[in-house]
Amino acid sequence: MEHTYLLQQANATQDSIERMKCVAAFAVSAVASQWERTGKPFNPLLGETYELVREDLGFRLISEQVSHHPPISAFHAEGLQQDFVFHGSIYPKLKFWGKSVEAEPKGIITLELLKHKESYTWTNPTCCVHNIIVGQLWIEQYGNMEITNHSKKKLCSLYGKWTECMYVVEPAAFEAHKKSDKKTPEEKKNKSGGEEQEEVPSPSTDTVQMIPGSQLLWRIAPRPPNSTQMYSFTSFAMQLNELHKDMEGLIPPTDCRLRPDIRAMENGDIDHASEEKKRLEEKQRASRKNRSKSDEEWKTK
Ligand SMILES: *[C@@H]1O[C@H](CO)[C@@H](O)[C@H](O)[C@H]1NC(C)=O
Ligand SMILES: *[C@@H]1O[C@H](CO)[C@@H](O)[C@H](O)[C@H]1NC(C)=O
Ligand SMILES: *[C@@H]1O[C@H](CO)[C@@H](O)[C@H](O)[C@H]1NC(C)=O
Ligand SMILES: *[C@@H]1O[C@H](CO)[C@@H](O)[C@H](O)[C@H]1NC(C)=O
Ligand SMILES: *[C@@H]1O[C@H](CO)[C@@H](O)[C@H](O)[C@H]1NC(C)=O
């Protein structure tokens, strides 16, 4: 909050791009406070809070340690003139690498510029403390920090399942449905699985429930009954290798439908298919050998 003036600067400008620049500077400026602060952190206790009102700087803030394990702090700040709301969580995921410790930020930070009806989010960069065993401690911050402008109104919500269908619906209807359709904790627990193998889910379990008012964009056609004997092809895929009379002379000689081994396989003559495949592959090897003897390069057609 040391650089809150950047938010006031953002509020004061009428150009959205200029505002976003100020927001980006504000986001990075917060990280700067960690420079050379390699001391052991003084971790807040669970439920510990911190409250601050700075009339001179134009903001008030409250924060709370909301989780002990993993340690997570939540905060909420507001401009005293209703110019901004700034909130988020600090949730560093620690990884020990032997000589260094890395804190990957999991918390999302949100800034709302109320007068401009703009909302920005970002995540802090990864922070690494080097030389935790021997040598001098030092801090490195790295990774991308992407500031996202969320003010663009949600136009529609898409939902569905890749093995089944896809719908589009009004965002409000989708949100309302999501609230009423919370999975029971028991179901969730079972899904996360234990030590055992995860069973392959059947596409027919957990079928997509249509939200009223939705428009169907796509639905998969059922597979033909003999699909499993045909490489689990769909009817469409099964037709792809068919060679129709009217294609002959029209499709180029390189077309895969003309491969004799594929033809034999399509006709159920596996022995012949296998012989032909061997012959073709040997021919291909010889042709490659020929090319390597000359300067001739393979050219695509
Ligand atoms: C925020 O900006 C608006 C106009 O964009 C201005 O009227 C208002 O005084 C500004 N607030 C602060 C705290 O600077
Ligand atoms: C942010 O989103 C708003 C609403 O769509 C738009 O008017 C504004 O130009 C955007 N600003 C930037 C910097 O993308
Ligand atoms: C979760 O798994 C347990 C043990 O396998 C089973 O008894 C229970 O019915 C499952 N619950 C759900 C909601 O699938
Ligand atoms: C599988 O079914 C399709 C049509 O549904 C048919 O054209 C094809 O010959 C069948 N293949 C086998 C191996 O039964
Ligand atoms: C390899 O080159 C020889 C001599 O140019 C030719 O006769 C033969 O057909 C070529 N073989 C292949 C597989 O291209």
User: Measured between alpha carbons, how far is 163 from 166 in angstroms, rounded to an integer?
Assistant: 10
- Report CA Rg, the chain: 31
Name residues contacting ligand 1 (CB within 6 A). Answer: 8, 11-12, 79, 81, 83, 115
Strands 72-79 and 157-161: unpaired
At 198, phi and psi to the nearest 5? -90, 125
Question: What's the distance, CA 169 to chain centroid?
Answer: 22
116 C-alpha vs ligand 1 centroid, how far in Å? 10
At 228, phi and psi to the nearest 5? -65, -30
Residue with tokens 């109104």: 153
- pLDDT at site 221: 80
Tell me: pLDDT of 293 over 50.
Answer: yes
Q: For residue range 81-91, what is the model confidence (pLDDT) as tens digits?
A: 999 999 999 99
Residue with tokens 């924060």: 63
- pLDDT at site 236: 83
User: Measured between alpha carbons, how far is 124 from 158 in angstroms, rounded to an integer?
Assistant: 29
User: Measured between alpha carbons, how far is 35 from 61 in angstroms, rounded to an integer?
Assistant: 23
**Cis peptide bond upstream of 70, omega within 30:** yes
Residue with tokens 């089944």: 164
Given pLDDT bands bounded at 50, 70 and 90, which one contains residue 256? confident
Is 182 within 8 Å of 154 (Cβ atoms)? no
186 lines ligand 3 (CB under 6 A): yes
14 C-alpha vs ligand 1 centroid, how far in Å? 10
At 111, phi and psi to the nearest 5? -125, 130
What value does the mean pLDDT of the chain take? Answer: 84
- pLDDT at site 268: 82
Look up the pTM and report it: 0.52
- pLDDT at site 195: 47
- pLDDT at site 205: 67
Tokens standing for residue 172: 């409000």
Average pLDDT estimate for 46-65: 90
Average pLDDT estimate for 25-31: 85
187 C-alpha vs ligand 3 centroid, how far in Å? 7
Strands 72-79 and 109-113: unpaired
Burial of 29 from C-beta contacts in 10 A (0-12 / 13-18 / 19+): middle
Percentage of residues in the chain with pLDDT exceeding 90?
30
Closest atom of ligand 1 to 58 CA is 13
Name residues contacting ligand 5 (CB within 6 A). Answer: 283, 286-287, 290
Least confident of 168-172, 233-237, 249-253: 233-237
**Buried b or exposed e, range 138-159, using 16+ CB within 10 angstroms:** eeebeeebebeeeeeeeeebeb
Name residues contacting ligand 2 (CB within 6 A). Answer: 16-17, 20, 118, 149, 151-152
At 22, phi and psi to the nearest 5? -65, -40
**Buried b or exposed e, range 224-256, using 16+ CB within 10 angstroms:** eeeeeeeeebeeeebeeeeeeeeeeeeeeeeee
User: Measured between alpha carbons, how far is 111 from 23 in angstroms, rounded to an integer?
Assistant: 8
Q: For residue range 102-154, what is the model confidence (pLDDT) as tens digits?
A: 999 989 999 999 999 999 999 988 988 888 888 788 888 888 778 888 878 77
Q: For residue range 163-201, what is the model confidence (pLDDT) as tens digits?
A: 778 788 998 999 998 888 765 444 444 444 444 555 565
